[in-house]
């Protein structure tokens, strides 16, 4: 396993390096650390089945090909690498790229099996890959929902609230990226506020803006102010989401961000975004084939940009309501896709991203919980290394839920304990306890129970396990009401992790300069 | 796999055998059939770890022993079998039984690896064991809960309602037993009404009363009226729950029912009932050791009663709130226990019972759903063969939930689809579809999607996957409201499966005779 070492000294300005490091790292929040899985994986597919999918994906790459759209540089790079490139007769911006057998696989060989993403607090560094699982919150919704206000458009204040909450929730190991879309800030500028918020209000690792190459470049520049330019060039400080335009298209927007990030040695999560039945075949094996073809081309492309750049095999898969066309979550078919894609990623030798607490429900009711659990179990047992949307996701990704964030985070801590597996030491075997207590008695006061009392069982921070009468007298609250109380308490208790004032000032200056030249109107 | 064959002719009275069979079997309800799992199991424990637990359990049986309480016949049977028996100095009704190495294991060898439980409708016969999972509803709560009335004591009308609903829900393969306690009927008599309700209002396989040996005998007698005496002696028509009095006690009430049922060739589910920390050590491995010791003695005892009698290795495990002492559900430790016990049962060569849709929540909110899912995933992936409490469980088993029953059943159908695994046929590979659609298009109208439209994805019968706007205009219903509508519709649509009037009359006569001699006051 890659050693997790503290990030070294940041940029050379405004005060001593040691002081800045200390300032970057202080935090009152006790974090759980990412999951180092001690239990086995669940691998439902056989080697023969996976080989079949790999052969089929090779066939797709050779015969059908992948379209590159609005990025001539990328097309030229593929041509140089030996791919067959044909421009579309209908659209000169569209190129069909076909890949000779083995080309894509051979390019992927330079990708690392795992990598460390550094946080400004080295205690929050994460190792992505191997037996590890890193949980990151919901990404992308334009709306928020909470019990008080219902559903409304998100603002930068919501974004800050979510950043603060994620910072305070130990089971979220990663700060994520677009916690919600701050629609009150112009599109061309909001990536600056989001990146700044992640740096200022949290000290966990975070994600880059990817909505344009120049916005990704701004994220890199801000990281250089925080960590130092040389450090950023040699180490991963952002893991960022690059979605394929399925089926089988990589477009200029995503490629633009990918090129900036990979060349800056920053990790790209190469993610086919699939609603099966619409963006892929209706079947699990057909979907896996397409995912493998799309992802492997994106992964290979990061290595064309910079061999050795960290990269993650991503998969986002939903099924589709064949009645309404809406994506559906918590269903069995995406679960199988997750298990299969995880196995394919391990065979490829790169970290894997999938899963999350996905649901279609508009509200954090039992539908949301069933669906989220049905996504989280496959996430954990398949061996997902980087889990985006692990908490806070509602309404098919259209809303970030305040209560849902708290509820899911509680579940994540359950999974974290599960991944520790069983203790087979003498204390775990408890033979003395069984002999001491014997038939017809109870273990409550036994030596063994007393000794293991504190850590014996995972304890939910939200579940009500009181008697019916106690629960009734407490006002018959459901879990959403308790979660509502919890996030408000967390926000009122929040204290920002210290940030070197010099760094803070340089970031603020950078933002002001960029905002001065960026338009308010561009989308 | 055991062939599932129709139950032969019932008792010789009141009309032709063929007519009766036809009458017994007619049903308007389309059932899903039990799960024949095509996917792999998840087996987190290694052979070495399981061998350690087995050795430790042998040590417990040899050195600590198991108490038999208020059943001198059972004690004498163990003495004859070669066990060491000592009466308690404090209580002459209590005997400590210690087992020479290997005795218990050798007795278990006559137990079948799997067995068929016959239903009056042969289409609903179930094979318990092997790659199969059979879902049965909640068992035992004294209360019911629904959205209209909240929580109140259960009545025989509730019991009938649950029997009707379970009959109509295809994902419940088994009618279960004490769907709720009909507290409006005297304790000594209610087993008759419950058994009759299962026979009359459903045609799925069901469970015996076990609250006393004579009540189990009444269940057997009623089955003899339904299936014929000889058939019952040679075939399993009831699978029934025999709980250990953990830690390490088998008491006279459970042993009384066990003896009647095993001698009648009826299946006993031998279930340690564990709230870890109180009834077993706090640790997973210690709990598994005790479960194995308790279960193997109970299983062996069924074989002392009648070698070859069908028997199931059962496990009910909850963790405990170390604050309040309340059992907690959906936690990681019981999940590990379920996986471990399933592996131990397979090594023993008998079917396994555990899991369910367990939760501590008082209401069917997101807490209930998270916790239920956290129990159901281990249920399915561990390879549980007989899953009691699969639907309708609330409040740690104190309440049967009308809406929860419907909600869980919907989830069970999800798991049933998941267990089918992925299709690797040409149609499943969908290579033609990928080639036909190609980059930048969509699959909605493709030949392949059209051909697979109907069965492509599992479809929830309860989840709302409409747009936000549609959902809002429909009244912002949560899943509980939809489930409430559903069970009322099911009950209003209910039609009883035909039952031969002669059999019905004989059952009614039997009940009347028994009720005439049974007391109203005895508990």
pLDDT in tens, B47-74: 999 999 999 999 999 999 999 999 999 9
Do A260 and A212 touch, CB atoms closer than 8 A?
A: no
Question: What DSSP line would sit under A180-236, residue for residue?
Answer: S--TTS-TTTHHHHHHHHHHHH--S-B----SSHHHHHHHHHHHHHHH-HHHHHHSB
- List pLDDT tens digits, range A199-245: 999 999 999 999 999 999 999 999 999 999 999 999 999 999 999 99
pLDDT at B32 over 80: no
Closest CA to B267 of B77, B104, B118: B118
Whether chain B has a CB inside 8 Å of the CB on A67: the answer is yes
**Contact at CB, A424 and B49, closer than 8 angstroms:** yes
Average pLDDT over residues B134-156: 98
Chain B residue whose CA is closest to A290: B434
- Report DSSP state, residue A244: E
The shortest C-alpha distance from A426 to chain B (Å) reads 9
Instruction: Report the residue count for chain A.
Output: 523
**Contact at CB, A440 and B249, closer than 8 angstroms:** yes
Residue B418 φ/ψ, nearest 5 degrees: -55, -40
* Per-residue confidence band for B523, with pLDDT thresholds at 50, 70 and 90: low
Longest dimension (CA), chain A: 83
pLDDT at A453 over 90: no
* Per-residue confidence band for B482, with pLDDT thresholds at 50, 70 and 90: very high
Q: Which residues of B73-89 are buried (b: 16+ CB within 10 A; e: fewer)?
A: ebbebbeebebeeeeee
| Dihedral in degrees, nearest 10, Cα atoms B287, B289, B293, B294 | 10
pLDDT at A10 over 80: no
The shortest C-alpha distance from B487 to chain A (Å) reads 17
Average pLDDT over residues A22-37: 69
Measured from the Cβ of residue A89, the count of other Cβ atoms closer than 10 Å reads 7
* Per-residue confidence band for B1, with pLDDT thresholds at 50, 70 and 90: very low
Degrees, nearest 5: CA angle A392-A395-A400 = 30
Do A439 and B67 touch, CB atoms closer than 8 A?
A: yes
Degrees, nearest 5: CA angle A123-A128-A134 = 70
Closest CA to A114 of A348, A300, A406, A439: A348
The alpha helices in B145-282, defined as continuous H runs, are: 156-168, 187-201, 213-227, 229-234, 252-263
Residue B436: burial class (beta carbons within 10 Å; 0-12, 13-18, 19+): middle
d(CA A115, CA A122) in angstroms, rounded, equals: 14
Compute the mean pLDDT over every residue in chain A, rounded to the nearest whole number.
94
Measured from the Cβ of residue B405, the count of other Cβ atoms closer than 10 Å reads 32
Q: Which residues of A touch B64 (CB under 8 A)?
A: 434-435, 438-439
d(CA B130, CA A470) in angstroms, rounded, equals: 43
CA distances from B115 to A325, B308, B309 (A): 43, 10, 9
pLDDT at B10 over 80: no
**Contact at CB, A367 and B478, closer than 8 angstroms:** yes
Chain B residue whose CA is closest to A40: B44
d(CA B227, CA B205) in angstroms, rounded, equals: 12
* Per-residue confidence band for A521, with pLDDT thresholds at 50, 70 and 90: confident
Q: Is the ipTM of this complex over 0.90?
A: yes
Beta-carbon contacts below 8 Å between A and B:
405
d(CA A316, CA B3) in angstroms, rounded, equals: 42
d(CA A280, CA A61) in angstroms, rounded, equals: 15
- List pLDDT tens digits, range A327-366: 999 999 999 999 999 999 999 999 999 999 999 999 999 9
Nearest to B332 among A284, A417, A448 (CB): A417
The alpha helices in B172-212, defined as continuous H runs, are: 187-201
d(CA A389, CA A176) in angstroms, rounded, equals: 8
A23-27, A491-495, B309-313, B488-492: which range is least confident on average?
A23-27
What is the reported pLDDT for A7? 52
Q: By three-state DSSP, how is residue B438 classified?
A: coil
**Contact at CB, B374 and A414, closer than 8 angstroms:** yes
d(CA A365, CA A480) in angstroms, rounded, equals: 8
**Contact at CB, B289 and A363, closer than 8 angstroms:** no
Do B170 and B29 touch, CB atoms closer than 8 A?
A: yes
d(CA B438, CA B440) in angstroms, rounded, equals: 7
Whether chain A has a CB inside 8 Å of the CB on B234: the answer is no
- List pLDDT tens digits, range A260-280: 999 999 999 999 999 999 999
**Contact at CB, A328 and B245, closer than 8 angstroms:** no
The alpha helices in A306-442, defined as continuous H runs, are: 332-348, 366-382, 402-418, 426-429, 431-437
Whether chain A has a CB inside 8 Å of the CB on B332: the answer is yes
Do A180 and A151 touch, CB atoms closer than 8 A?
A: no
CA distances from B293 to A431, A498, B45, B63, B98 (A): 12, 56, 18, 11, 11
Whether chain B has a CB inside 8 Å of the CB on A421: the answer is yes
Instruction: Indicate the helix (H) or strand (E) that contains A320.
Output: strand A316-320
pLDDT at A26 over 70: no
Whether chain A has a CB inside 8 Å of the CB on B439: the answer is yes
Instruction: Indicate the helix (H) or strand (E) that contains A262.
Output: helix A252-263
d(CA A405, CA A401) in angstroms, rounded, equals: 6
Helices (H) and strands (E) in chain A, counts: 19, 19
The shortest C-alpha distance from A198 to chain B (Å) reads 30
What is the reported pLDDT for B495? 97
Chain mean position to CA A424:
32
- List pLDDT tens digits, range A96-126: 999 999 999 999 999 999 999 999 999 999 9
Chain mean position to CA A149:
27
Exposure of B251 in the CB half-sphere (CA atoms within 13 A): 12
Q: Which residues of B248-284 are buried (b: 16+ CB within 10 A; e: fewer)?
A: bbbbbbbbbbbbbbbebbbbbbbbbbbbbbbbbbbbb
pLDDT at B421 over 50: yes
The shortest C-alpha distance from B119 to chain A (Å) reads 29
d(CA A478, CA A220) in angstroms, rounded, equals: 43
What is the reported pLDDT for B188? 96
Task: Using DSSP bridges, classify how beta strands A143-146 and B327-328 pair: parallel, antiparallel or unpaired.
Answer: unpaired
The shortest C-alpha distance from B182 to chain A (Å) reads 20
- List pLDDT tens digits, range B338-390: 999 999 999 999 999 999 999 999 999 999 999 999 999 999 999 999 999 99
d(CA B201, CA A348) in angstroms, rounded, equals: 56
Whether chain B has a CB inside 8 Å of the CB on A87: the answer is no
pLDDT at A2 over 90: no
Q: Which residues of B touch A429 (CB under 8 A)?
A: 52, 56, 283, 285-286, 289
- Report DSSP state, residue B246: S
pLDDT at B186 over 70: yes
**Contact at CB, B278 and A442, closer than 8 angstroms:** yes
Q: By three-state DSSP, how is residue B126 classified?
A: strand
d(CA A83, CA A409) in angstroms, rounded, equals: 45
**Contact at CB, A336 and B280, closer than 8 angstroms:** no
Residue A35: burial class (beta carbons within 10 Å; 0-12, 13-18, 19+): buried
**Contact at CB, A440 and B67, closer than 8 angstroms:** yes
The alpha helices in A44-126, defined as continuous H runs, are: 47-59, 72-81, 103-108
Q: Which residues of B touch A57 (CB under 8 A)?
A: none
pTM for the model stands at: 0.95
Average pLDDT over residues A446-472: 94
* Per-residue confidence band for B177, with pLDDT thresholds at 50, 70 and 90: very high
Q: Which residues of A touch B420 (CB under 8 A)?
A: 332
Chain mean position to CA B313:
12
d(CA B276, CA B320) in angstroms, rounded, equals: 6
- List pLDDT tens digits, range A144-185: 999 999 999 999 999 999 999 999 999 999 999 999 999 999
What is the reported pLDDT for A31? 75
């Amino acid at each position: 396993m890659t050693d997790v070492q503290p990030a070294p000294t940041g940029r050379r300005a405004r005060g001593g390096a040691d002081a800045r490091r200390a300032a970057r790292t202080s935090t009152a929040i006790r974090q759980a650390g990412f999951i180092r899985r001690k239990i086995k994986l669940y691998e439902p597919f056989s080697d023969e089945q996976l080989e079949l999918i790999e052969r089929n994906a090779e066939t797709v790459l050779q015969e059908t090909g992948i379209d590159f759209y609005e990025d001539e540089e990328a097309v030229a790079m593929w041509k140089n690498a030996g791919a067959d490139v044909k421009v579309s007769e209908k659209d000169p911006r569209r190129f069909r790229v076909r890949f000779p057998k083995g080309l894509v696989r051979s390019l992927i060989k330079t990708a690392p099996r795992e990598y460390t993403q550094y946080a400004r607090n080295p205690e929050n560094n994460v190792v992505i890959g191997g037996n590890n699982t890193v949980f990151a919150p919901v990404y992308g919704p334009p709306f928020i929902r909470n019990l008080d206000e219902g559903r409304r458009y998100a603002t930068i204040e919501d974004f800050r609230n979510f950043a603060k909450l994620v910072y305070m929730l130990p089971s979220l190991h990663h700060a994520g990226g677009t916690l919600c879309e701050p629609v009150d800030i112009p599109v061309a500028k909001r990536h600056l506020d989001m990146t700044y918020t992640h740096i200022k209000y949290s000290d966990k690792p975070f994600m880059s803006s990817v909505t344009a190459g120049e916005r990704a470049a701004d994220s890199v520049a801000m990281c250089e102010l925080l960590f130092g330019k040389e450090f950023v060039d040699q180490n991963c400080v952002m893991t960022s989401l690059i979605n394929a335009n399925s089926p089988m298209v990589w477009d200029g927007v995503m490629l633009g961000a990918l090129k900036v990030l990979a060349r800056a040695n920053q990790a790209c999560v190469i993610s086919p975004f699939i609603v099966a039945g619409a963006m892929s075949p209706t079947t699990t094996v057909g979907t896996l084939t397409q995912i493998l073809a799309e992802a492997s081309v994106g992964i290979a492309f990061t290595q064309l940009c910079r061999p050795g750049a960290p990269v993650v095999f991503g998969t986002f898969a939903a099924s589709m309501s064949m009645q309404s066309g809406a994506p559906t979550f918590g269903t069995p078919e995406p679960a199988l896709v997750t298990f299969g894609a995880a196995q394919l990623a391990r065979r490829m030798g790169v970290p894997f991203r999938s899963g999350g607490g996905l649901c279609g429900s508009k509200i954090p009711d039992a539908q949301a919980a069933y669906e989220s659990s049905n996504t989280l179990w496959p996430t954990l047992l398949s061996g997902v290394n980087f889990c985006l949307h692990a908490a806070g996701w509602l309404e098919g990704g259209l809303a970030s839920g305040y209560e849902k964030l708290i509820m899911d985070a509680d579940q994540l801590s359950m999974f974290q304990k599960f991944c520790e597996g069983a203790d087979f030491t003498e204390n775990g075997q408890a033979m003395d306890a069984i002999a001491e207590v014997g038939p017809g008695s109870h273990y409550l006061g036994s030596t063994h129970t007393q000794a293991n009392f504190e850590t014996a069982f995972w304890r939910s921070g939200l579940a009500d396990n009181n008697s019916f009468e106690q629960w009734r007298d407490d006002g018959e609250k459901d879990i959403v009401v308790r979660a509502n109380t919890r996030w408000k308490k967390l926000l009122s208790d929040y204290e920002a992790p210290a940030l070197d004032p010099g760094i803070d000032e340089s970031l603020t200056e950078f933002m002001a300069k960029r905002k001065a030249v960026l338009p308010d109107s561009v989308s």
